[in-house]
Amino acid sequence: MNKSKQYECTVIIDGGLQDDAIAAAMELVNKTITDKGGVIHNVLDVGRRKMAYLIRKSSIGSYAHIDFEAVPSAIAEIERVFRYEENILRFLIIQLSSPLLEMRARVEKYSVMLGSPEDQVETEPAAAAKK
Per-residue pLDDT 10s for the chain (131 aa) are 578 888 999 999 988 888 899 999 999 999 999 998 889 988 888 888 898 888 888 889 999 999 999 999 889 999 999 999 888 999 999 988 777 777 777 777 776 554 445 555 555 555 555 55
- Dihedral sign for Cα 120, 125, 126, 128, please: positive
Asked whether residue 101 falls in the same domain as residue 129, the answer is yes
Cα first-last separation, the chain: 65
pTM for the model stands at 0.72
Of the candidates 66, 62, 59, the one whose C-alpha atom is nearest the C-alpha of residue 48 is 62
Asked whether residue 75 falls in the same domain as residue 118, the answer is no
Asked whether residue 60 falls in the same domain as residue 78, the answer is yes
Asked whether residue 92 falls in the same domain as residue 112, the answer is no
Asked whether residue 83 falls in the same domain as residue 112, the answer is no
pLDDT at 4: 85
pLDDT at 80: 92
Q: How many domains does the chain have?
A: 2
Q: Which amino acid is at 127?
A: A
pLDDT at 91: 92
